[in-house]
Chains A and B, each alone.
Chain A
């Protein structure tokens, strides 16, 4: 497992790497073709997993919360609790962690393999900026794809929750949806969904950092993949705490 021997050096290097991504975004060439290709790659890799996981977690969560809410005489609140929980917190976090596992490991492994097989040197030898060509499109793809994938988690979780509720109490779909959205404000929905752009930036940057900067040949491929997942997941959870505080500051009503 990843051991941070020099944590400050590591944080500094990843921060500089991220800064290079941000500054590189505004320099031509803009790599539109690569960005579209990477968005398709991130989406196609993650979508089935994200939908299946959202559906399963939604169904399981309904099963767990039902008994408590029925005991409190609040069975009618099940769809509301479900939607608030997913749109505000579980959806973004689950999407972030799933993409970190699925896409982050892939980015780390692919770039490390390209480094080991001299493909990155090959790109440089052709006077092509390998950082702009390989890293920036991957980071941008993660940033743009994550909010969309989060919505898929949210809605598939609602569907999973409804199915679970329907099998238990024969609830109507129409009523379930009305109750699910009855207490949901834009502030509950927009800010948490868009905070996943930060998760996307973390996944893209950290994974690319481990893959792009590895210098360990074939051995480095597995290590880069593992480190990408572990460090991205950890940083997503830490960033989530900070972002929630920011959201509460900007939208105080959502903290009530």
Chain B
């Protein structure tokens, strides 16, 4: 398959197994730049694995993945590092380094991956913290933050390198409706202001419908529906119709 040069992300017949359990089976889709894709599906259907394949924390058994024009499945670590710099990842539990303060968590990638001066790093960190509403908490350790604050802190770390592609693994899980909505607002703001391509794995259909331009529904490792909300609602897959219609 020749990649669509205009796509931000291309999956071409990607499969992934862990031992005898196949979690993704021949998954193919394309995502145009600047759009938000919400990945839905029941637990254990390969949604989080898809995100980890995109950022190359996992390698597919077969198939290819393109990030813009870069085919990442066969890349060497140095090349991979270059492609990863285009991406930000919000982990399900934020995955902040618990031995560093919030400020240090955000400054670390800037310090290591950019040639910014300490003043520029300070300014970039403060700007992002202000954006997510945590400017007053920058000296706190991750253990001192609430669940919602940790999610926002994780989002801040994902945004601090100004990624072109933002990946979020269940950004609203474990949060109340208002806090979840605030996280969705931040994602929407990022998409609108920076034209960031966003991929969100979520169980929150209400939030997904707010944020998503496109929806991918997984069932037992298969991509059973892909398209706009209206297209998924008309899908042949009963699972997809139920998931998109929930709430």
Contact = CB atoms under 8 A, between A and B. Distances in A.
B192 interface: no
A73 to B, nearest CB: 58
A119 B143 CA distance: 13
B241 interface: no
Interface stretch (B64-72, B83-91, B125-133, B195-203): B83-91
A125 interface: yes
Given A119-B98, A121-B57, A126 B109 contact: yes
A117 B93 contact: yes
B98 A122 contact: no
Interface string A22-40: 0000000100000000000
Interface string B40-56: 00000000000010010
B92 interface: yes
A125 B55 contact: yes
A127 interface: yes
B44 to A, nearest CB: 15
Contacts of A16: none
A121 B57 CA distance: 7
Contact of B95 (A29, A119, A127, A129): A119
Given A118-B91, A121-B52, A121-B91, A127 B113 contact: yes
A231 interface: no
Q: Which of B92, B108, B112, B157 has the most CB of A within 10 A?
A: B112
Contacts of B97: 114, 119, 122-123
A122 B55 CA distance: 11
Nearest to B82: A127
Given A121-B52, A121-B57, A122-B89, A128 B109 contact: yes
Interface in A81-129: 114, 117-119, 121-129
Q: Which of A114, A124, A125 has the most CB of B within 10 A?
A: A125
A233 B80 CA distance: 38
Contacts of A125: 55, 57, 84, 87, 89, 91
A101 B108 CA distance: 31
A121 B95 contact: yes
Interface in A110-155: 114, 117-119, 121-129
Nearest to B58: A121
Q: Is the interface of B mostly helix, strand, loop or mixed?
A: mixed
Given A125-B87, A127-B81, A127-B113, A119 B96 contact: yes
Contacts of B91: 118, 121-122, 125
Nearest to A126: B109
Contact of A118 (B85, B93, B113, B161): B93
A21 B77 CA distance: 17
Contacts of B84: 124-127
A51 B89 CA distance: 45
Interface in B146-194: 157, 161
A114 B112 CA distance: 20
A104 B239 CA distance: 49
Nearest to A110: B99
B91 to A, nearest CB: 5
Contacts of A118: 91-93, 95
Contacts of A119: 95-98
A123 B157 CA distance: 11
Nearest to B161: A126
A119 B161 CA distance: 18
Nearest to B51: A125
27 contacts: A29-B112, A117-B93, A118-B91, A118-B92, A118-B93, A119-B95, A119-B96, A119-B98, A121-B91, A121-B95, A122-B91, A122-B95, A125-B55, A125-B87, A125-B91, A126-B84, A126-B112, A126-B161, A127-B80, A127-B81, A127-B82, A127-B84, A127-B85, A127-B109, A127-B113, A128-B108, A129-B77
Given A125-B84, A127-B112, 19 more contacts: A29-B112, A117-B93, A118-B91, A118-B92, A118-B95, A119-B97, A119-B98, A121-B57, A121-B95, A122-B89, A122-B97, A124-B84, A125-B87, A126-B109, A126-B157, A126-B161, A127-B82, A128-B109, A128-B112
Across chains A and B, which 9 residue pairs bring their CB atoms closest together, nearest first?
A122-B95, A118-B95, A125-B89, A127-B81, A126-B109, A127-B84, A118-B91, A119-B95, A121-B57
